[in-house]
Amino acid sequence: MEKSEKRNPFSRMMAIRGMGQVVTVTIGLVVLCIVFGILNPSFFSGKNVGNLLRQIAPTLITGIGQSFVLITGNIDLSIGSVVGMSCMLSATMMTKGINPWAAVLITLACCLLVGIINGELVARCKLPLFIATLGTMTIARGIAQIANNNYNTDSIGEAAEGFRNFFYYGKILGLYNTIWIILVAYVARYLTYTLKSSSAALQQVHISLEEASRACGATHLESLRDITLPLIKPAMVSGFFLVFLPAMRELTTSVLLYGPNSRTLGVAIYQLRINGQIAPAAALSVITILLIIICNNVVKHFTKDRKGS
């Protein structure tokens, strides 16, 4: 009791749930700002700071509104589409000659209407939050497309385009425009999966087994080869398939880094789909699903034999 009372204010603050994540993100942001300031002294100039504040203002306002929803234990899936709808409506009306203030007020009224519809669907109609906001998300996205003459608005964005162009057209260790840059991205994305399975298997191998092997005259390498590796081999195989199966259909990373000669299955299916080639896309999807099912059955077969033995 006395120890808890004597804790300093910082310890009491860090004891608050979620405060560690906030502090970590804040420190990371400060470090990034310092690094950018060292690389480019004009980063802290008044003009650049103003530009940054203007760029993050929409995200900040959206985050404040979404915070109230999350605090009450709810969720709103339509927030992103509503933001896109508001931008498309206001920009379209301004290009048509409507007064900017009138366009902003009309757009604000439309966004408030979407919020009221969400509230009515949840409070009065007793619809689940996920279903209600998913429906209004689709409606808002459709309105944005109609306002822009049915132009597809769900592009990957300028930031992602710049990221892709940086790796696609730039020269980074000779990996640009090759399959190796995708491999590096896959390793960074799925490394934690294999580490979790391997570390769990290593924790189950008691240290006395290696000590007994060393007592019999075996070296570290022989103990690893004859004792540790055979025991963790099933976990390593399982970790391989745990990464292999989702990697076959991976799209979000590959679509940013692929080149003309390094398209993955997910990218190939996606390109066939957006180009209107539904039949080839469906056929390739079926082949991918069959490969995943075969690999899954192989894993089950070996696991079953191991359990039976």
pLDDT recorded at residue 109: 92
243, 251 contact by CB (below 8 A): no
Q: State if pTM tops 0.75.
A: no
Burial class (CB in 10 A: 0-12, 13-18, 19+), 81: buried
Q: 3-class secondary structure for 180-234?
A: HHHHHHHHHHHHHHHHHHHHHHHHHCCHHHHHHHHHCCCCHHHHHHHHHHHHHHH
Q: Please provide the DSSP assignment of 79-127 as one string.
A: HHHHHHHHHHHHHHHHHTT--HHHHHHHHHHHHHHHHHHHHHHHHTS--
**Helix (H) and strand (E) counts for the chain?**
15, 0
Residues with Cβ within 8 Å of residue 182, at least 6 apart in sequence: 253, 254, 257, 258, 262, 264
Positions of the chain with pLDDT lower than 50, given as ranges: 1-2, 4, 152-157, 159-160, 163-164, 167-172, 308-309
SS3 content of the chain, % helix, strand, coil (to 5): 80, 0, 20
Among residues 120, 117, 163, which one has the least CA distance to residue 137? 117
Stretch (H or E) spanning 246: helix 229-248
What does the pLDDT look like over 235-251, one tens digit per residue? 777 777 778 777 777 77
pLDDT recorded at residue 231: 82
Distance CA 172, CA 185 (A): 13
